Structure 1
């Protein structure tokens, strides 16, 4: 996926069209003209103009010279039997649908659609699948990835908690569109294999069956309305469509109510139906469904014991269907009726099987360097120098005959200056992929990608941080006129773990998927204010215990040192964990404990504890980076370890 693009998933297998977009690791449902789903109808004007997203009610208001197609997908792959001079082209109609839906998707998320996933009925073969490729090409979209509706529905159900063990099967029943279908899927590896699919064939769809019962109960035998339903070709289309739409609306009302009205053509009074009426009217369908379950299981060569679950995409107002399926399979069906279920499920499958581009090929939007960014870098760099200069300038130096033979100072604090130098370099590296020092990005292919900037920035941080820490150790020995090796050991010892983690991040971060880069950048942002808190704590602790240049503004050096220890303890906990609960519970207790135990003998241990916390933060960041860069490495290692030995 090119930089700045998104993956759209469009469900073409349901009674309405739903669109979902995958962008930057998030799934976004798309509103089409203010609607969560779009009707499938398309109107054709007299000069060939197309109007997408119409239902039957809107179609009745069209001028007489307009033609209406209920669902373009019904025409795909079938010859058009018409006496019209210019029969509708279903591929062009579907291209208009794709063009309209992806336009709203790109407008809502502010990014172009660069990958496309389409959900289709399970029985579609190469002819209709080829038509979808043609329609996407005409709409100016990339070649689509096709996912069958049962597989998409199963993938969505797994996100709701359905567990499908390897090689087990799932029975999927879709009743939201005529004809209803039953499909048996088997989980093989990381994909679903279709074993058998069969339609639940009945002479009429559910709305017709219910309309028959309503008319039989509410009208006399000689009412012409009976002819409207029983002989559709000879009956007024407007009356038939209006009655069927009223039945469909009543079914939706019966989901939450016991009774619902059905409007009959004037001058007749409305009829009232109940859930029992619907169950009775749809009895032929329910009986056929129960028989078809056995047939499709036999065709798949599986028993009910092989089923890990039964998933139903229900028809509103037909609760008896789940009872019949439960009785036929011995498994309570899981009902999935979310309007974006198939679009979301197909998106999950394509995201899992078609990994997107990596950071190495992406170009994130970049902004000018802000004053706050520069202030953070300068503050950390200043803290690094202060933590180095304070123990050097306040060292208790012992001399013999004007020769320095020893110096008492806070060696762990000198080591922390090396860690802070490394942390300063990390802050600069974190800004590199998203910040311009000057100028405006031109979008030229010659501009470095985000992955390249990450690699360069973090490698430079690792090298420059180590060089600075080395110079700190050498400078300390020179200033105190002593052997530099103890100080160099501490400055490098504190900086080296951070540098190693930084170098590993530089190597692996470019492999992070492009849509996960914003999440990673948020995780990788160093908490500058926590580091400043720790630096202030170490400074106050050293100031309270200094023998040569004591800093005592309160007259109570013990209080100053305890305050510094408390700040260092709080910074240690804030660095170790991101959990708000743990922070709220641990920060006060640890801060008080640090203040109570603070002495000349314990100050070094307190500083070392903070350095360990800082190292732990770097290790956690590296682990998260590896997980994003190699998401399947854990599963592969598990399979390798548990591989049976011959």
Structure 2
């Protein structure tokens, strides 16, 4: 891809055409004629004029002198003598489609399209791929980067968080178009390598099977509609076409409801179809899944233990297909039904290896909002509340006018230091994602994303450490006593987070562009967890300072136990991002902390939360290193290589 260029990805392998633009590492879905996806059908007038974006329903209202092509891509690769002489050249027709989609993409992005990526079916070979290249040339573009549909789906699954170790295999099932296709891919350094592919063909399409079942249930044996449904499949006229379109619409409705109506040709009353009816009609397809999967794995010379994952592009209204695939492959498939999934996945494959470190790309300017600052302000307020409470509730022993001893919660001061560092993390998160609107000149260029990340997290490491040190010094000054223990705790809790911030500043600018949005989402500190922990620590300290021992005051004991429970919940939520682990550990820690809460255990409970915060920072740093250096063997060489930022 040209540096700073705009890449358009067009999906020609699905039941509808979808397009996505990659611009400076950002993916932008394109509306075509105001629609998220464009039906692939085209109408050809008597004078050769071409109308795009028609589906089968719209085709029924075309004038008699117009020809309808369900999908121009299906005409590619056919022998010349098999194409009707009255029909335009299939390559010209596809070039018209590419020009149409590219025009909308250029208008949407307010700039020219510099490169194309096209997703094609896995069954296409050099002949049809060559026709795509020729169509792009006729449309005024260089030959596009071609990505097969299974590879695009596998790449999109990794964008959703799936992990596929190097050399492992992925089973991909694309069932949204007929015939359904099964493919085994193996990961490679430049993407995926196809090991084997297999199609599951039916004598009649799924819509035909459903329509036959509906007609058999809703009509009498002598009804001519039954004879029309058993006629040759190529006869798609009259009542049969109307019925099939009604079946397709009903399948769409069944994705969100239990039953749907099917309009039968007049004068017959409508019929009602349920998910059970679709499952029964799809049984011929489901019966072939186990044999097809086994045969495919044998052809690829792998077994189910080699599969790192299964990806399914489901057939509309057939949820049991996922269950059949799970039983055959031994793994629960990742369902992908987003209309732009293949276009986005193809971009992930073609731009990751060509565009270099995307952290050097510039993000669009947005205006800073009050809500963007709320998180950092709340964390700073939590830190300040814990600091002030520890100072104001300190028990100071004096001799004459000299302070001879001070008792306060040193772990609480450590929590204040850790939270001020967390507030600095929140500020650093704003740097690469929010930039004040202003005038950019040649002498003062807009900083790149990588530069903003580096500056933001270096500022976090230095500024947070200085603030934590000031907390310790301020505590010693306030109580007029040796500041050494207070400085030890505030800095001791903040320095591990500062070290993580410094390491992130050094490595994050090398994160690829397509991974930046997900990484930026992970770096946002969990404000709710920190507020919960602050409330818990505050209640525990308040309960201990109300009375000594605490058992003499029932209200204080209850408040302290509630605070301990809140701290336990915050600790559990901070340790892991897994919902399952959180659901198990949060109640357990809450009950356990509440039961063991005493004046002697308060410090240990707070230290447990500080350990959880440190683990959060370590986990974020480790994830950053994995993204920046996907091949650990080259990490040292890349660290010593000068950055292009």
State the TM-score, normalized to the length of structure 2. 0.62
Q: 1:569 aligns with which of 564, 567, 571?
A: 564
Could you give the per-residue CA deviations for residues 401-437 of structure 1, whole angstroms, max 9, x where no partner exists?
A: x7x583132261444443444344344334444456x
Deviation for aligned residue 1:386: 1.5
Contact 1:415/1:490 (CA < 8 Å) preserved in 2? yes
Contact 1:18/1:339 (CA < 8 Å) preserved in 2? no
Deviation for aligned residue 1:396: 1.0
Contact 1:157/1:336 (CA < 8 Å) preserved in 2? no
Deviation for aligned residue 1:146: 2.8
Q: Tell me, in whole angstroms, the C-alpha distance in 1 between the residues paired with 2:305 and 2:380.
A: 65
32-41 or 571-580, larger mean C-alpha shift:
32-41
Deviation for aligned residue 1:188: 5.7
Q: Does 2:404 match 1:406?
A: yes
Q: Tell me, in whole angstroms, the C-alpha distance in 2 between the residues paired with 1:626 and 1:508.
A: 10
Partner of 2:392: 390
Q: Tell me, in whole angstroms, the C-alpha distance in 2 between the residues paired with 1:379 and 1:583.
A: 25
SS in 2 for 1:577: helix
Partner of 1:132: 132
Partner of 2:95: 92
Report matched runs for 1:100-139 at 5 Å: 118-133=118-133
Q: What are the ranges of 5 or more consecutive residues in structure 2 without an aligned counterpart?
A: 217-221, 272-283, 319-323, 574-581, 634-645
Deviation for aligned residue 1:42: 1.2
Partner of 2:577: none
Deviation for aligned residue 1:619: 2.0
Alpha-carbon RMSD: 6.9
Deviation for aligned residue 1:41: 1.7
Partner of 1:462: 461
Q: Which entry has the higher C-alpha Rg, 1 or 2?
A: 1
CA distance change for structure 1 residues 539 and 262 in 2, over 3 Å: closer, same or farther?
closer
Q: Tell me, in whole angstroms, the C-alpha distance in 2 between the residues paired with 1:354 and 1:4.
A: 12
Contact 1:524/1:621 (CA < 8 Å) preserved in 2? no
Partner of 1:610: 606
89-98 or 524-533, larger mean C-alpha shift:
524-533
Deviation for aligned residue 1:98: 3.4
CA distance change for structure 1 residues 389 and 143 in 2, over 3 Å: closer, same or farther?
farther
Partner of 2:494: 495
SS in 1 for 2:445: coil
Q: Tell me, in whole angstroms, the C-alpha distance in 1 between the residues paired with 2:630 and 2:615.
A: 17
CA distance change for structure 1 residues 10 and 339 in 2, over 3 Å: closer, same or farther?
farther
Could you give the per-residue CA deviations for residues 134-167 of structure 1, whole angstroms, max 9, x where no partner exists?
A: 65678799975433345567889999x9x99978
Contact 2:207/2:247 (CA < 8 Å) preserved in 1? no
Partner of 1:282: none
Partner of 2:361: 361
Contact 2:122/2:150 (CA < 8 Å) preserved in 1? yes
SS in 2 for 1:464: helix
Q: What are the ranges of 5 or more consecutive residues in structure 1 without an aligned counterpart?
A: 220-224, 233-238, 273-284, 319-324, 547-554, 638-646
Could you give the per-residue CA deviations for residues 528-561 of structure 1, whole angstroms, max 9, x where no partner exists?
A: 5335425633652574379xxxxxxxx9995686
Could you give the per-residue CA deviations for residues 492-520 of structure 1, whole angstroms, max 9, x where no partner exists?
A: 22322232233333334445522314522
Q: Does 2:62 match 1:59?
A: no
Partner of 2:194: 193
CA distance change for structure 1 residues 22 and 386 in 2, over 3 Å: closer, same or farther?
same
CA distance change for structure 1 residues 507 and 22 in 2, over 3 Å: closer, same or farther?
same
Q: Tell me, in whole angstroms, the C-alpha distance in 1 between the residues paired with 2:463 and 2:177.
A: 63
Q: 1:624 aligns with which of 586, 595, 620?
A: 620
Deviation for aligned residue 1:471: 3.7
Q: Tell me, in whole angstroms, the C-alpha distance in 1 between the residues paired with 2:571 and 2:593.
A: 12
Contact 1:568/1:610 (CA < 8 Å) preserved in 2? no
Contact 1:96/1:139 (CA < 8 Å) preserved in 2? yes
CA distance change for structure 1 residues 543 and 612 in 2, over 3 Å: closer, same or farther?
same
Q: 1:540 aligns with which of 531, 539, 542?
A: 542
Q: Tell me, in whole angstroms, the C-alpha distance in 2 between the residues paired with 1:77 and 1:48.
A: 21
Contact 1:508/1:629 (CA < 8 Å) preserved in 2? yes
Partner of 1:429: 428
Q: Tell me, in whole angstroms, the C-alpha distance in 2 between the residues paired with 1:37 and 1:252.
A: 17
Q: Tell me, in whole angstroms, the C-alpha distance in 2 between the residues paired with 1:147 and 1:469.
A: 52
Q: Tell me, in whole angstroms, the C-alpha distance in 2 between the residues paired with 1:385 and 1:335.
A: 49
SS in 1 for 2:146: strand
